[in-house]
Structure 1
Amino acid sequence: MNSLTALSNFGTDPGSLSADIYIPDNFPKNGPLVVVLHGSTQSADSYNIGSGWSTLAEECGIALLFPGQRLTNNVLGSFNWFESGDIHRGGGEPLSIRHMIKQVVDDHAVDPSRIFITGMSSGGAMTAVMLATYPEVFAGGAIIAGLPYRSADNLMEAFFRMKGYGSPSDCKLDVLVRGASEFDGPWPTISVWHGDSDQTVDSSNAGSIVGQWQNIHKVEGPPTRVETVDGFPRKVWCDADGREVIEEYIIEAMGHGTPISAEGDEGLGEEGKYMLEVGISSTRHIADFWGLTQ
């Protein structure tokens, strides 16, 4: 497996995070960047091995940035997606990640219009935070087994939301995103993945994430179409121009984790804790949704 390299200097780092990068030899000038956020009890390395992102980066010429949580910030190694100091623009963990991105863009001539972000569990919830607080930075985001932005503002609320209780209305969630920055579009595209048997983060959160972004993308109501991909249903919402702006995969009988498909010629990743072999590679399909695999 391709090894990551530490990114040691990246601004003021108010959230006290670590950072690792992977820049493949074939990375072109003005190539794309994907930011990858691990889940609780994981590391940048373990998430990369499980998801196969660096293998795909080699294949497609993608730069990767892996922000990492420190146990001194959170005993489970979770990103603090519900802490008041870490859910707003201009401070905490979001600003640390923003500084990392700027450093990688400057160091490696990344195309600033092709920056994407993905994460699983607490990393998925922090992906939602980044998409809301710095929407101008990202062309797209993918939230795996995560939660909507500002669905919880403290630890007790976080536990309730993870169990599927008491989520704010779609209208309130929409207002929270709009209030997180002064941005007014065009907004990042949204990819949502969740197992329907997730006992850690209830799958109702997937629907709330979709609902949070539907009005923002002006695609309220039922999906434009539903299709089958690798045996699983994919719901797609297209805007007035026919562009796919939201997609949702609910993986039948899957628990809490990132869906992978490690076998075959197009296999990616490695099965492990929270890296679940279900016959569909979220990594490959997310990259395809973002136009990175052509």
Structure 2
Amino acid sequence: MSSHRRPSGTQSAVPREPLRRPPRPRRALVRLLALVLLAVGGVLAGPASPARAAVSLERIADFGANPGTLNMYVYRPATLPARPPVVVALHGCTQSAQIYADNSGLTEFADRRGFLLVFAETTSANNISQCFNWFQSTDNRRGQGEAASIRQMAAYAASAYGADPARTFVTGLSAGGAMTSVMLATYPDVFAAGAVIAGLPYDCTKDTGALACMSPGVDRSPAVWAQRVRDAYPSWTGPWPRLAVWHGDQDPKVVPRNADELRDQWTALHGLTTTPDRTTSIGPDATRHEEYLAGDGTVAVEVNRVPGIGHGTPVDPGTGPGQCGRTGTANFIASICSSDWITRFFGLDGAGPGPGPGTLPAPTGLAATGTDDTSVTLSWTPVPGAADYVLYRDGTQVANPAAPPYKDTGLAPGTSHTYTVAARDGAGTAGVRSAPVAVSTTGAAAACWTANNYQQVRAGRATTDGSHAYAKGSHQDMGLYNVFVTHTLKEAPAGYFVIAGAGCP
């Protein structure tokens, strides 16, 4: 994943022929990293097979300042409604805009459902493996590099084609999936929703390397993940984009753990539990489809765990209404037509963003009626017809009280928590959640220490197997055991350490 770029300047207008210029000298460390990444199988994708009949794409040579030196292509269906939606698509490593257009099935649904497709493309001048640089701060921050270039493509589509800015979406595979996370985090004012295929949570590389994020994956709390997104655009107050996650359950390159971490990141942003409100099986391969519902009943986050496949975009070649895509090119895998379900999730099939919860109204009057060092007592106005209730702490379901009040115990002293509650009917279906209430326990806050992994082990706050360091008590993987990786550890209760975020006292 080299960070090398070509110089900025006027791009060629010749379709499907990326401008290539001689690379500038790379630093030895970057060259070594690129070679290591190539050694693990083309980083996030394999080589492409010879092209078949190509989808016709229009090359846009001048769409803005283009600080990330990307290429822009557009697929415009023969028939488009007034103010059409826009879907921005981001290819995987070693791929191109053309390869993704030809095989993903997105163009088929652009024709059927009437939306404009924008394919962003990077080249080997940006990254030796043609990966989007999702892991570099020069490219994954608002207003910078590749992220800014993709945002300019969305703006160009709105101005040049009369597209609807309020219905702009983004999706991508692997490095493109990780870059989808970047776009949702850095431009929540631009993208209404996104779909990450075999990708990673935003800013995973803040405190570890890209390879560690991919495999074995990085475990952070939902609150820490969510804060990383908030930090990408601190003045943004919402609403947050909706997110669909797609991941093969046998993925060896970007391990399935990343689907869980993405879920944790975005359910926390939406103030939701990590327990799905609904779970079903979809498609010919019985993909596990999990839905996490917002207070208004829409699906804020969904996770699709595709059985029996490795690293790639799920497709289902054929001419049926739910089929799409092509196989035979690396990283397009016969299973389920993900492009059908993704564009449905975006609401482009006319059905809207998803069904609602049960019919019971939100409880009112949620308030803390007592606190101490380790517990919070909550009460609320009972809902007629409720069989019981679901209580959520910091977006995670923690209890099913039969009736108010309820005492939440086992908390750490001096910590703050946000609670919501929903009523459940006799069938176990939760209704709309209450307004949140923030409560703090009494007593002193947890102690925190910031040090490199070597120092944390020497101080007894972490252990090591000689290769990695692990937080004592929680056994969270802190990365390589050396003096170069630094973490903040929080101790709560005594002798139990967790990796803490920026909010650690």
With structure 2 as the length reference, what TM-score do the two structures score? 0.57
C-alpha contact 2:264 2:274 (8 A) present in aligned 1? no
Equivalent residue, structure 1, for 2:324: 268
Equivalent residue, structure 2, for 1:168: 220
Is the counterpart of residue 31 in structure 1 residue 49 in structure 2? no
For 1:110-189, list aligned pairs within 5 A: 110-153=163-206, 157-181=209-233, 182-189=235-242
From 338, 355, 364, the equivalent of 1:282 is: 338
Structure 2 counterpart of 1:253, one-letter code: G
C-alpha contact 1:133 1:180 (8 A) present in aligned 2? yes
More moved, 158-167 vs 135-144: 158-167
Is the counterpart of residue 234 in structure 1 residue 289 in structure 2? yes
Is the counterpart of residue 53 in structure 1 residue 106 in structure 2? yes
Cα separation, 2, equivalents of 1:188 and 1:47: 24
Q: Secondary structure at the match of 2:269?
A: coil
Q: Secondary structure at the match of 1:247?
A: strand
Q: Deviations over 1:213-239 (max 9, x none)?
A: 112111123001101111221000001
Shift of 1:58: 1.0
C-alpha contact 1:217 1:245 (8 A) present in aligned 2? yes
Q: Secondary structure at the match of 1:75?
A: coil
Q: Deviations over 1:7-57 (max 9, x none)?
A: 111111111101100111211221100000000010111111111111211
Equivalent residue, structure 2, for 1:247: 302
Shift of 1:167: 3.8
C-alpha contact 1:237 1:245 (8 A) present in aligned 2? yes
Q: Secondary structure at the match of 1:179?
A: helix
Structure 2 counterpart of 1:290, one-letter code: F
Q: Secondary structure at the match of 2:123?
A: coil
C-alpha contact 1:140 1:188 (8 A) present in aligned 2? yes
Is the counterpart of residue 190 in structure 1 residue 216 in structure 2? no
More helix by share: 1
C-alpha contact 1:151 1:167 (8 A) present in aligned 2? no
Q: Please list every run of 5 or more consecutive structure 1 residues that lacks an aligned counterpart in the other structure.
A: none
C-alpha contact 1:151 1:168 (8 A) present in aligned 2? no
Cα separation, 2, equivalents of 1:108 and 1:76: 32
Cα separation, 2, equivalents of 1:179 and 1:35: 23
Shift of 1:70: 1.4
Shift of 1:201: 0.4
From 325, 348, 363, the equivalent of 1:292 is: 348
Cα separation, 2, equivalents of 1:165 and 1:107: 41
C-alpha contact 2:244 2:302 (8 A) present in aligned 1? yes
C-alpha contact 1:38 1:68 (8 A) present in aligned 2? yes
Q: CA RMSD of the aligned region, Å? A: 1.2
Cα separation, 2, equivalents of 1:28 and 1:159: 43
C-alpha contact 1:52 1:283 (8 A) present in aligned 2? yes
Shift of 1:59: 1.1
Structure 1 counterpart of 2:211, one-letter code: F
Equivalent residue, structure 1, for 2:460: none
- Higher RCO, Cα 8 Å, sep 6+: 1
C-alpha contact 1:83 1:153 (8 A) present in aligned 2? no
With structure 1 as the length reference, what TM-score do the two structures score? 0.97
Cα separation, 2, equivalents of 1:9 and 1:218: 40
Q: Secondary structure at the match of 2:190?
A: coil
C-alpha contact 1:232 1:251 (8 A) present in aligned 2? yes
Equivalent residue, structure 2, for 1:107: 160
Q: Secondary structure at the match of 2:204?
A: coil
Q: Deviations over 1:105-124 (max 9, x none)?
A: 10011111100000000000
What is the identity percentage for the equivalent residue pairs of Structure 1 and Structure 2?
A: 38
More moved, 139-148 vs 213-222: 213-222
List structure 1 segments (4+ residues) > 6 angstroms apart after TM superposition: none
Shift of 1:240: 1.3
Shift of 1:153: 4.0
Q: Secondary structure at the match of 2:317?
A: coil
Q: Secondary structure at the match of 1:126?
A: helix
C-alpha contact 2:263 2:274 (8 A) present in aligned 1? no
Number of residue equivalences: 292
Q: Secondary structure at the match of 1:213?
A: helix
Cα separation, 1, equivalents of 2:310 and 2:115: 29
Q: Please list every run of 5 or more consecutive structure 2 residues that lacks an aligned counterpart in the other structure.
A: 1-53, 351-505
More strand by share: 2
Structure 2 counterpart of 1:268, one-letter code: C
Cα separation, 2, equivalents of 1:63 and 1:207: 31
Cα separation, 1, equivalents of 2:340 and 2:248: 17
